[in-house]
A = this chain, B = another copy of it.
Amino acid sequence: MTQTAPSKRTQVGRLPKRGDYSKETIHGILDAAFLCHVGFVVDGQPFVIPTGYGRDGEILYIHGSAASRMLRNLEKGVDACVTVTLLDGIVLARAAFHHSMNYRSVVMLGTATLVEDAETKREALRIISEQIVPGRWDDVRLPNDQELKATTVLAFPIDEASAKVRTGPPADDEEDYGLDIWAGVLPLSLQPGTLIPDPRLKSGIDVVPTYRVGLQ
């Protein structure tokens, strides 16, 4: 890539050809997933916590209980890192050394902002829900005021971000291509199974929804 990283600290160091700083690539990866890992520091100790998210333009929304340690720390505006990883396959090279993974990842640096306005908060919750299970928001009982109050929503900027992508077959040393070893890629993807009805599902509700869960 000839693009420029938005900052020195987001520049992909190892294998810079895998780095990509275009909005198109970054937004594409963020829209294909819904789970991120959030990194923040408390008393010098980093913590990495998984959570769902939703993207709206240049903002990534995350949410959780107002009592969450992670959110209470992040809403102070501490330096944070949000990473999204899609694992696409295992690269089986002829040499152990050249084994790899195919993946798409985005690393975002910045500080979160508390979403206080009730209308923006409701909209952010809708965006998170729609990113995880598109269509579900229209089917459910929406948050009441008490639930909204018990929920913290944070906005994280996507502007200082880098993507890293590996695709394609293994890259072995030239002399190893003659070896009698099978090589190629084992694709991996997060797949939905069969919906499991709640044991307390109300009788008469037998129309099983067909949500397309947003993992690509």
Q: Please report A residues at the B interface, Cβ cutoff 8 Å.
A: 9, 13-14, 35, 37-42, 44-50, 52, 64-65, 67-69, 79-83, 85, 87, 89-90, 92-97, 99, 101, 103, 105, 107, 109, 125, 129, 132-133, 136-137, 139-144, 147, 150-151, 169-170, 176-202, 204-205, 207-209, 211, 213, 215
Is the beta-carbon distance between A191 and B189 smaller than 8 angstroms?
yes
Is the beta-carbon distance between A67 and B188 smaller than 8 angstroms?
no
Is the beta-carbon distance between B13 and A68 smaller than 8 angstroms?
yes
Copies in the complex: 2
Is the beta-carbon distance between B79 and A46 smaller than 8 angstroms?
yes
Task: Give bound CA distance, A38 to B81, whole Å.
Answer: 11
Is the beta-carbon distance between A48 and B39 smaller than 8 angstroms?
yes
Which residues of B lie under 8 Å from residue A213 when comparing CB positions?
A: 90, 186, 188
Which residues of B lie under 8 Å from residue A87 when comparing CB positions?
A: 35, 50, 190
Is the beta-carbon distance between B192 and A177 smaller than 8 angstroms?
no
Task: Give bound CA distance, A179 to B202, whole Å.
Answer: 8
Which residues of B lie under 8 Å from residue A150 when comparing CB positions?
A: 97
Task: Give bound CA distance, A92 to B136, whole Å.
Answer: 8
Shortest distance between the CB of A117 and any CB in chain B (Å): 18
Which residues of B lie under 8 Å from residue A194 when comparing CB positions?
A: 187
Task: Give bound CA distance, A101 to B211, whole Å.
Answer: 15
